[in-house]
Structure 1
Amino acid sequence: MNLGRLPAPLVDGALVGAALADTWVYVDIGDRVAMACALLAALALTLRRRLPLTTFVLTLPTALVTDAVFATIAALYTLSSLSRRRVLLAGCALAFAACDFLPWPWSSVRPAELTRTPSLIQLIYTLATAAAPVFLGQLVQARRELSLRLAEISEAREHERLLTDQRVLAEERAQLAREMHDVVSHQVSLIAVQAGALQVGSRDSETRRAAATIRQLSVQTLDELRHMVSVLRASGGRRTELTPQPSLADLRQLVAGSGIEAELETDLPDDLPPTMQRAVYRTVQEALTNVRKHAPGARATVRIHHGAGALHTIVTNTAPTRPALALPSAHHGLVGLRQRAELLGGTIDSGPTADGGYRLHLELPAEDWPNHE
């Protein structure tokens, strides 16, 4: 068991109890001076963490007048584990050895007895007893400092790894920004230019309207691309302001600029939670994009209402009137919408209708909103 993980009051209480037991074994209850010194030493152990040197000084008399030296050894160990002053520790160890070796009262000491072999052995034993808690305390202090150094090294390595990851990410973002600026933006610009030329040069009104829609969407896409490039080029430096997130107030503009014949029906308030507003907007945006790509000439209807404790967004379109062009697609649109709906606790259903069209239904829980039907 690691004593360092035990609560400090529990450890201190155990040491005081051991010191009192040591007193009960080695101190005569009738010797008031010895008993007072031993009790003082035992109680002084409660101060060993805050005042280690004072605690050792208070425990030293019991080593002089009694054989109960547990409190003094514990105090010396604590002082050694907390202090870096080796001269002080050596002096404390010698003081403890002297108090433990010399009999009390000192007047009973006979110089001739100190030269006898048993006395020399006792002196060596006393010095070893005094040195042991010092060495052990220094060892514990070194182990604690080593653990702190290892923790600092691990933290430094983790910080270095994070910096490396950020540098790699910044390089990838810069490369992606260059690709978007040099390739995607250039091609979208050409689309906008060609659409503008077609709008001006065509005599057919329907073709001019289609060209105007293409040009408008191309210009809007270019603006979004430029902002995305600026965000990518920031690369974790200064904070770049993000584009304002769409809300229900932007739905009519989205439907009007979709490039298809679409109708919007909604009676929702404008104070819905922003997350729900974004989910509705992105769902309608993806649905109208799919109609424009996969059902040319179809008409779309967007209905958004609240009922039965849920918010319903339904986008339906009629059958296409002309064949769809083969356009590249990663088929991630509906997957992303379904994931967004699941995060809000909702569902998305989609599928063909009986008349050859298509229907997409987003349902989000909204029990806290009043029924506007």
Structure 2
Amino acid sequence: MPSPTAPSASSPPATLDLTADVVTLTAAVCDLASVSHEEGPLADAVEAALRPLTHLTVTRHGNTVVARTDLGRAERVLLAGHLDTVPLTDPPNLPTTRRGEGAHEVLVGRGSVDMKGGVAVQLRLAHDLVEPNRDVTYVLYEAEEVDGEFNGLAHLAADDPAVLAADFAVLLEPTDGAVEGGCKGTLRVDVEVPGVAAHSARPWNGDNAIHGAAAVLGRLVAYDARTVHVDGLDYHEALQAVGITGGIAGNVIPDRCTVTVNYRYAPDKSPEQAAAHVVEVFDGFAVTVRDNAPGARPGLDRPAAQAFVEALGVPVGPKEGWTDVARFSALDVPAVNFGPGDPNLAHTDDEHCPVHQYVDAEAALRRWLA
């Protein structure tokens, strides 16, 4: 079996034409299926397309490809996007198709939203911008759609963080053509409610832990979530129950109930502060932190970020979810999300994107970098 970073010996490697228009290139990138852990052929094609460009230094890290200019500019910016997608449908939603016409034309297929349009925009810029007004690092990475231990961006941050050094970063995740600054942190905890087991015919001999969970749920219902102003953007926090478990049989009063709670917190908080806040909310109950991913400040007060927003001239708002911009924040690199595609259509069977959004995203980034 061939290695995951090498094309099959039985078929020629796929090629990408970086001189093609961005819509055609997006379709070509999508049609190279690259479900997580199967990005090898697409990474090969990306590397092969970028290697001949003499204005770029190209390196390969597993199935992550990095290309960079080294012109000695006063600023370095970084554009990043992941190569992988979630699994295809059955029957497969590839190859891509187009439907509609004019302003209503869309590209349909896996990756058309999340996020091969952003990849194609990067490739077009990398090909065309021989002398950008800022030095640019392009990062096309593997395994974003699966557990973080496989994430190519995380591996770079851990193994060679200098590769990601920049004054500002743009993650080309789908944002419907707007700029979404930073991201919120996400914390998941288990809140344990104790009880005493008994036969359900004689409940007075026990203490029903599921009934006791009403106190936990009551605190959630009464919770007044903050709206937090960070670097010019308003982030809406949220504290929500996302799961509840308890009981061992249909005739037993449960002696334990667990309420799983997710806290989406503004990027003004550290993970430790977020955890302390949740523990305070559920004072009197045992709270176990299951995972805690920090948010990212948008850094819109920094000159590089301000120049980006001014050049693009598109709406700016907060990223209310969590994305890999948090990995840049951990390296003290302010970052925003900006890319073609409606995120509400990501991962859907009918994943599709208006083709003008690919064109508009490329044009906007050219205004900034050219």
TM over 0.5: no
Q: Which of the five TM-score ranges fits, normalised by the shorter chain?
A: under 0.3
Structure with the higher helix share, 1 or 2: 1
TM-score normalised by the chain length of structure 1: 0.20
Based on CA coordinates, which of the two structures has the bigger radius of gyration? 1
TM-score normalised by the chain length of structure 2: 0.20
Structure with the higher strand share, 1 or 2: 2
Q: Which has the higher contact order (CA 8 A, sep 6+)?
A: 2
